[in-house]
Amino acid sequence: MGHTASSFEELYLAFGAQVRDGGAVAVPPELVGEDLGAWFFANQRGECLVLESLGCGAPDPKLRAVVPSLVSSIASASESRKFRYIPQVPNNPGWKALVGRFPQAEGAIYFGLLTKAPAFGGSSGGCEKLGQSVAEGSVVRRAIFADESGSQETGLPIGEETGGDSPAMWKFVGLLLRALWGCHTQTSLLQTRLRHMKNEHQVLRASQAAAINEAIEERDKRLREQETHIEQLQRVMMLAADGIFIANEQGFLESFNEQARRIFGYKPEEVLGKRISLIFPELLAPTAGPEATHTVLKSLEGGLREVIGRRKDGVSIPIELGVSRVWLGDRWVYTGIFRDITQRKQSEETLRRLHLQNQMILDAAGEGIVGLDTSRRIVFANPAAAKMLGWPVAELVGRFWHETVHHTSEKGDPLPRDACAMCAGLFGDQKLICGHQTFWRRDGSAFPADYTVSLMVDRGRCTGAVVTFRDVGEKLRLEAHLRQAQKLESIGQLAVGIAHEINTPTQYIGDNLRFLREGFEELQDLLKETAQLVEIFPQDGPKGSAEKSDLEAFDSTKILDELGNLKRVVQATDLDYLLEEIPQAIQQALEGVERVTKIVRSMKEFSHPHAGQKQPFDLNRGIESTLTVSRNEWKYVAEVVTDFEPNLPLVVCFPDDINQMILNLVVNAAHAIGDKVKKNPGQKGTITVSTRRDGPMVEIRIQDTGMGIPEKIQSRIFEPFFTTKEVGRGTGQGLAIVRSIVVDRHGGTIDFQTQEGVNTTFIVRLPIEPLGKAPSVGTR
């Protein structure tokens, strides 16, 4: 509770300072003797307290108690600008004694109310404070002091004139003492302030120390955390799966982890502090200067590169190294992370060699090899393919296979994908496809090609296809030539026989004609005589008048003569003979011509080059002509029996080939029988040729009653160049050609049945209509 104050004084008063107890006690002058002084103490209101009255008896004990705290410091008074005082110490014997009694006092003011002059005394201590050396005991005559505002000096002679109890003097005293009070409080305040400052200082220091401690602790904590963190990082680095080194800017190794040790074989202590040239001799020379080191290390920065490392045992190993430059807070270091790539390099080398091998194989292959992806684009082509197709390899890649190479049929019509046999089969179910198609070159020319497509399958999925192909144009041309040559050869071989065949009829045609000539010559005379006889009769007699009567007009002698001549000639001529023989001769001659004509026709038919296209063909007739043409080959050793199915449908085929085939088979049959007849002469064999229709096929059987085919060569008879005939008698191509014609060219079948020593039958089946150009089916 307490009560409120509106001034400091009130405040002080409120809590009852000692001052309050004091009133003003003035010492009446009359009580003060000469040389007596009185110490006054005044409060702020100017009320005075007498402290001591020398010579007035014992000092007031109450007052005395206050004095120690009354430190009147003249010096501080002057500092506080309250007043300036120049003391003059009174020459008073009691002065010393008084001062002696208050040794704590820094100074004292002795205000002596002497009769004439009040005196102020300062102790030597107080005077010294002012920097004045004042002799002890000198009299203060004047007080010079500033008034309360501190701005003026007032020299006031004190009491000289006035003396006694004057209000002015007391006012002055009051002023002075007020000033003293100020001093006093100032000093004590100073002390208090000093104390306060010490306290402040202490407490601040303590607080700051606490703050500093806190800061230190926090920093320590952070450092510890950092250390832990660093430790962890170091552990990570040490145990990493790749080799790690750290080198400083001069290239000296500062850190080397476990894996690095394993790779290089060095223990860390053997390597730390050494230059990195120890393990990477190529990178940096051991004696390289800082400039060079810096350049090298800097150039390694960023990206991986392959370098050669050197192990402790001196072996060089390929290393993949990545270097980075790191700022560690106070300097730069280089961190290298690396791995041993020996294995990888070996694999790379192997791969490279394999690749090279593959490349060489592809390049060297004579066949065209082309790879397609699942969208049917060309992804690679070997040189042979490029050459055959007339494109540079680089331009082939990326193009669509079908549109580039078999966009048109062999007839010249555009061939869309869906109609293209190869495309139809591509990426279908079949893994392997063979076929034949027309391929077109870049320049617009074409060639026939045999191709094989095989699919590439990776883990069950189709990833592409490989097409190998061959230009069979040449082959086909050769084949055609060969066939033609063979045909001509056959014809050549048959020529002698045919010559024979033609010769015989030609002979008797000649004979018959010669007979006719003789006969005619004989008949000539007869005809002449007859003509003469007729001449007797005039040509133009009267019409219808040549009757009996007219007969008498003629000369009968002439007539009789002529008749007689005629009779003679008739008798000379063997007319009956001639009349019988001449028609016969004519008939035979005509037959002979017929014969020749037939042979010639057969030859024509046989050797007529049909266009290289399949055509509907009358098989029976073809067989007939072939038999005719080859007659000479078989007529001596066998009879030929034909058993043709009537109305056999026309077979779409290559007529030349079929004729060739029949010829070869018939000739073989004839030779087979020939061998038998040689052993058993006198007995002719039989060649039976029959044709039948069997569903979509026609069946041709050619049977001979020859030696048969021995078992051990039965599997070989169709082989090219295989022959059982002696040298000079056929080249062994016959059956091979037959098979080629039947199977390859016509899609038919050929088979044989044989009984050794008895007979052999060859059975050829041909499709009446060819089954499109369907590719033959390969194995799954």
Partner 1 sequence: MGNAGFLAAEAPPTLDRVLARIDEISTLPQVALNVMEVANDPRSGAADLKEVMETDAALSARVLRCVNSSAYGARERITNLQQAIAYLGLKQIRNLAITASVSELFRGADAIGNYSRKGLWRHCVAVGLCARLLAMRRRIDQFEDVFLAGLLHDIGIILEDQHVHGHFRRVLAAMESGGTFPENERQILGFDHTILGGRIAEKWRFPESVRTAIRYHHNPSGYKGQDLTTLHCVQAANAICTLKGYTAVGVKLADSFQEAILALALTREDILVLAEDLDQALAEHALLFQI
CB of 108 to partner 1, least distance (A): 21
Nearer to partner 1, 14 or 526 (CB): 14
Candidates 137-145, 194-202, 476-484, 577-585 — which segment interacts with partner 1 by CB under 8 A? Answer: 194-202
Q: Is 192 in the site for partner 1 (CB under 8 A)?
A: yes
CB of 226 to partner 1, least distance (A): 14
Q: Is 5 in the site for partner 1 (CB under 8 A)?
A: yes
Nearer to partner 1, 200 or 580 (CB): 200
CB of 43 to partner 1, least distance (A): 13
Nearer to partner 1, 1 or 727 (CB): 1
CB of 36 to partner 1, least distance (A): 33
Nearer to partner 1, 222 or 558 (CB): 222
**Residue 189, CA distances (Å) to 46, 71, 99, 106, 195 in order:** 20, 11, 23, 15, 9
Q: Is 214 in the site for partner 1 (CB under 8 A)?
A: yes
Tokens found for residue 599: 């042979």
Candidates 2, 100, 414, 681; binder of partner 1 (CB under 8 A) is 2
DSSP H/E element including 127: helix 124-129
**Residue 13, CA distances (Å) to 66, 69, 178, 184, 190 in order:** 17, 18, 17, 18, 21
Candidates 3-11, 34-42, 451-459, 635-643 — which segment interacts with partner 1 by CB under 8 A? Answer: 3-11
Question: Please, what is the Cα angle at 428 between 425 and 432, to 5 degrees?
Answer: 65
Nearest to 594 by CA among 514, 501, 494, 491: 501
Nearer to partner 1, 153 or 200 (CB): 200
Tokens found for residue 717: 């008879």
Candidates 189, 285, 526, 652; binder of partner 1 (CB under 8 A) is 189
Q: Using DSSP, state whether 735 is helix, strand or coil.
A: helix
Nearer to partner 1, 217 or 395 (CB): 217
Candidates 183-191, 291-299, 464-472, 764-772 — which segment interacts with partner 1 by CB under 8 A? Answer: 183-191
Nearest to 181 by CA among 262, 297, 66, 288: 66
Nearer to partner 1, 20 or 621 (CB): 20
DSSP H/E element including 597: helix 575-607
Tokens found for residue 19: 């001052």
Candidates 168, 206, 354, 758; binder of partner 1 (CB under 8 A) is 206
**Residue 530, CA distances (Å) to 24, 569, 575 in order:** 227, 10, 14
CA atoms of 402 and 387, how far apart (whole Å):
17
DSSP H/E element including 175: helix 167-239
Candidates 31, 65, 135, 203; binder of partner 1 (CB under 8 A) is 203
Q: Is 12 in the site for partner 1 (CB under 8 A)?
A: yes
Candidates 90-98, 210-218, 334-342, 607-615 — which segment interacts with partner 1 by CB under 8 A? Answer: 210-218
Residues between 250 and 289 that touch partner 1 (CB under 8 A): none
Residue 332, number of CB atoms within 10 A of its CB: 12
Q: How many binding residues for partner 1 (CB under 8 A)?
A: 34
Candidates 11-19, 239-247, 372-380, 736-744 — which segment interacts with partner 1 by CB under 8 A? Answer: 11-19
DSSP bridge partners of 112: 37, 119
Residues between 423 and 482 that touch partner 1 (CB under 8 A): none
Candidates 7-15, 130-138, 455-463, 642-650 — which segment interacts with partner 1 by CB under 8 A? Answer: 7-15
Candidates 8-16, 20-28, 535-543, 762-770 — which segment interacts with partner 1 by CB under 8 A? Answer: 8-16
If you count them, how many residues does the chain have?
A: 780
Nearer to partner 1, 214 or 756 (CB): 214
Candidates 9-17, 468-476, 643-651, 758-766 — which segment interacts with partner 1 by CB under 8 A? Answer: 9-17
CB of 195 to partner 1, least distance (A): 8
Q: Using DSSP, state whether 645 is helix, strand or coil.
A: coil
Candidates 43-51, 158-166, 212-220, 540-548 — which segment interacts with partner 1 by CB under 8 A? Answer: 212-220
Buried b (16+ CB within 10 A) or exposed e, 355-370: eeeeeeebeeeebbbb
Max distance between CA atoms of the chain, in angstroms, equals 258
Q: Is 202 in the site for partner 1 (CB under 8 A)?
A: yes
Nearer to partner 1, 6 or 287 (CB): 6
Candidates 199-207, 303-311, 325-333, 751-759 — which segment interacts with partner 1 by CB under 8 A? Answer: 199-207
CB of 207 to partner 1, least distance (A): 6
Q: Is there a contact between 458 and 374 (Cβ–Cβ < 8 Å)?
A: no
Task: Indicate if the alpha-carbon torsion angle 389, 392, 394, 400 is positive or negative.
Answer: negative
Read off the DSSP letter of residue 775.
Answer: P
CA atoms of 570 and 123, how far apart (whole Å):
225
Candidates 211, 236, 496, 527; binder of partner 1 (CB under 8 A) is 211
Question: Please, what is the Cα angle at 729 between 726 and 735, to 5 degrees?
Answer: 100
CB of 188 to partner 1, least distance (A): 5
Q: Is there a contact between 274 and 252 (Cβ–Cβ < 8 Å)?
A: yes
Nearer to partner 1, 77 or 169 (CB): 77
Candidates 35-43, 203-211, 435-443, 483-491 — which segment interacts with partner 1 by CB under 8 A? Answer: 203-211
CB of 3 to partner 1, least distance (A): 6
Candidates 15, 330, 443, 460; binder of partner 1 (CB under 8 A) is 15
| Long-range pairs of 527-533 with CB within 8 A, sequence gap ≥ 24 | 529/562, 529/565, 529/566, 529/569, 530/566, 532/562, 532/565, 533/559, 533/562, 533/563, 533/566
CB of 244 to partner 1, least distance (A): 33
Candidates 65, 135, 144, 210; binder of partner 1 (CB under 8 A) is 210
Strand order in the sheet with 432-440: 378-381, 368-372, 461-471, 446-458, 432-440
Tokens found for residue 508: 């008797």
CA atoms of 250 and 276, how far apart (whole Å):
10
Q: Using DSSP, state whether 398 is helix, strand or coil.
A: coil
CA atoms of 634 and 672, how far apart (whole Å):
10
Residues between 215 and 234 that touch partner 1 (CB under 8 A): 215, 218
Residues that bind partner 1 (CB under 8 A): 2-8, 11-12, 14-15, 17, 185, 188-189, 191-193, 195-196, 199-200, 202-204, 206-208, 210-212, 214-215, 218
